[in-house]
Structure 1
Amino acid sequence: MSSTDSPRPCSVPASVPGEPARPGERLREVRLAGYTLAVRSRAPDRADLPPALFVHGLGGSSDNWSLLMAQLTDVVDGEAVDLPGFGFSPPPEDGTYSLASHARAVVRLIEAGGRGPVHLFGNSMGGAVATRVAAARPDLVRTVTLVSPALPEVPPQRTALPTALLAVPGVTRLFR
């Protein structure tokens, strides 16, 4: 194909699905207003365990939490969600992938399941989603556990300023 040819149309999936359900896991689809979410779960060791919800990071899926959920079956009744457009969840109906939209999907999932308040786990972008959920709906959250959350530092680290300045157009010429 030359640079003057029109590109061939192709379809690209919104994301690469995660692993199908592993032994001992169940993968189900939950239909909510504006979202269809894939939810991975593992039967807890006891029926009286508190609920937990695991939220993956950017480019991840509920499969990212499979090993941890297996280790916690005697502590929590865990579920992991594929955020809209990730893993086995189709894109959101409105096409919005913002943190606010993902948080809305998580809130709707917790409400629909009647499992709240939950122990909410979040990794990377899922950590940012989890903090939004906890801030907006503290009634749905028992605890928040963040693993390398994608959160801004306030105030910013002073040592990051020189690196940030290098991103400004023309600044590198000044250093030369």
Structure 2
Amino acid sequence: MSSTDLPSASPVPPVPPATGLPEAAAVRVAEGERLRSVELPGVTLSVRSRPPVREGLPPALHIHGLGGSSQNWSSLMPLLEDVVDSEAVDLPGFGDSSPPADGDYSVSAHARAVIRHLDAAGRGPVHLLGNSLGGAVATRIA
């Protein structure tokens, strides 16, 4: 056998076509949370929040990692409810947020979407909490 010959292998049987797509699971909302859609230029973001325990708490925005959603923050937000006014965002194309209209899933594009949300909501300056991809997005925003 030369270096350009492929090793012989037994034929692989074809994969049968899928008969249907799996059903999407309902978006879970923990007790005390609310979930809303925010229409922004080029994307609709899903934002999860908890009402603050008292007025005047500094705002915080939680940003999930790759393949995650705002639901990743549902256990932490109640622990911080007497410290910050928490919101968690589903990045474009994740969780319950629509895909970006321009198809750009880069860190910079995610940062621009989050900044548009913060500007529209008037929540800045804000504490940014990010995990994995969310940490990169938070760093780019900062």
TM-score (norm 2): 0.83
- Following TM superposition, by how much is the alpha carbon of 1:78 offset from its aligned partner in structure 2, in angstroms? 0.4
Preserved contact between residue 17 and residue 86 of structure 1 (Cα < 8 Å):
no
Selected match of 2:128 from 120, 126, 133: 120
- Following TM superposition, by how much is the alpha carbon of 1:28 offset from its aligned partner in structure 2, in angstroms? 0.2
Match of 1:3 in 2: 14
Match of 1:42 in 2: 50
Residues 133-157 of structure 1 show CA distances to partners (whole Å, capped at 9, x for unaligned) of 00xxxxxxxxxxxxxxxxxxxxxxx
The percentage of aligned residue pairs carrying the same residue is 62
The amino acid of 1:77's aligned partner reads D
Looking at structure 1, the residues matched to 66 and 22 of structure 2 have their Cα atoms a distance apart, in angstroms, of: 17
Where in structure 2 are there 5+ consecutive unaligned residues? Answer: 1-12
Selected match of 1:130 from 107, 127, 138: 138
- Where does 1:152-167 land on structure 2 (aligned, <5 Å)? none
Q: Secondary structure at the match of 1:60?
A: coil
Looking at structure 2, the residues matched to 97 and 4 of structure 1 have their Cα atoms a distance apart, in angstroms, of: 30
Match of 1:161 in 2: none
Match of 1:89 in 2: 97
Distance 1:75 1:43, change over 3 A: same
Looking at structure 2, the residues matched to 67 and 8 of structure 1 have their Cα atoms a distance apart, in angstroms, of: 36
Match of 2:67 in 1: 59
Looking at structure 1, the residues matched to 86 and 63 of structure 2 have their Cα atoms a distance apart, in angstroms, of: 11
Where in structure 1 are there 5+ consecutive unaligned residues? Answer: 135-176
User: What count of residue pairs does the alignment treat as equivalent?
Assistant: 130
Distance 1:18 1:41, change over 3 A: farther
State yes or no: 1:111 paired with 2:122. no
Looking at structure 1, the residues matched to 15 and 131 of structure 2 have their Cα atoms a distance apart, in angstroms, of: 43
More helix by share: 1
RCO higher in structure (CA 8 A, sep ≥6): 2
The amino acid of 2:50's aligned partner reads R
Q: Secondary structure at the match of 2:117?
A: helix
Selected match of 1:28 from 31, 36, 59: 36
Preserved contact between residue 99 and residue 128 of structure 1 (Cα < 8 Å):
yes
Alignment RMSD, CA only? Answer: 2.2
Preserved contact between residue 49 and residue 77 of structure 1 (Cα < 8 Å):
yes
- Following TM superposition, by how much is the alpha carbon of 1:67 offset from its aligned partner in structure 2, in angstroms? 1.0
Looking at structure 2, the residues matched to 29 and 37 of structure 1 have their Cα atoms a distance apart, in angstroms, of: 6
